[in-house]
């Protein structure tokens, strides 16, 4: 379909909650193709619809590696229904070009979603894999939450943002994850 412009941190619609998708229509199929085209053009592993200015609950993921090949995946109206453990990792985001910081995510998740064919599925992802972290990252976008909101060190994250000429952290958006952070191995 088309490579779309990825919104950058500071653009308002990245903070807006997305609406549920009621039918996998041609419009949604086209959106999915645009998301994949844009994600691949930007060398990303995931992309959520709000990142291209479409506030619908849709994201795509291709967390395949040479050691762990997998098919690209589509998540429509995803819900993380179970989560446990904690893992620290360095994350970036296509909406934050070249900016990376340490965050904490759940190690194990169980997610329920609809695929591009309108079929519901449930997927368990364990051990803090790239896929587990990517699903959480993209799912957050659907709620207007950004990876920077999970930062482990606010001051280091702020330096990274300044270095890349991105807006400052929004202190009121930082997530209180002390219990989760205490579980990091």
Q: Among 172, 144, 170, which residue's Cα sits nearest to residue 157? A: 170
Q: 138 an active-site residue?
A: yes
Beta strands per DSSP E along 5-107: 46-48, 58-61, 73-84, 87-93, 96-105
Q: Which residues contact 14 (CB under 8 A, 6 or more apart)?
A: 7, 50, 51, 95, 141, 144, 146
Residues 180, 160: Cα–Cα separation, whole Å: 23
Closest CA to 150 of 179, 111, 176: 176
Give the active site residue among 16, 98, 124, 138.
138
Known catalytic residues? 138
């Amino acid at each position: 379909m088309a490579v779309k412009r990825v919104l950058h941190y500071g653009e308002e619609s990245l903070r807006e909650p997305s609406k549920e998708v009621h039918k996998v229509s041609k419009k949604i199929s086209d959106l999915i193709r645009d998301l994949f085209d844009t994600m691949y053009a930007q060398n990303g592993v995931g992309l959520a619809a709000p990142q291209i200015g479409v506030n619908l609950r849709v994201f795509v993921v291709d967390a395949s590696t040479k050691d762990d090949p997998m098919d690209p995946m589509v998540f429509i109206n995803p819900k993380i229904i179970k989560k446990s453990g904690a893992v620290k990792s360095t994350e970036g985001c296509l909406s934050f070009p070249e900016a990376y910081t340490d965050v904490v995510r759940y190690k194990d998740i169980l997610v329920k979603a609809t695929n591009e064919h309108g079929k519901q599925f449930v997927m368990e992802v364990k051990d803090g894999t790239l896929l587990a972290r990517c699903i959480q990252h993209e799912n957050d976008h659907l709620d207007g939450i950004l990876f920077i909101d999970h930062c482990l060190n606010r001051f280091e994250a702020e330096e990274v943002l300044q270095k890349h000429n991105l807006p400052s952290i929004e202190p009121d958006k930082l997530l209180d994850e002390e219990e989760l952070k205490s579980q990091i191995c």
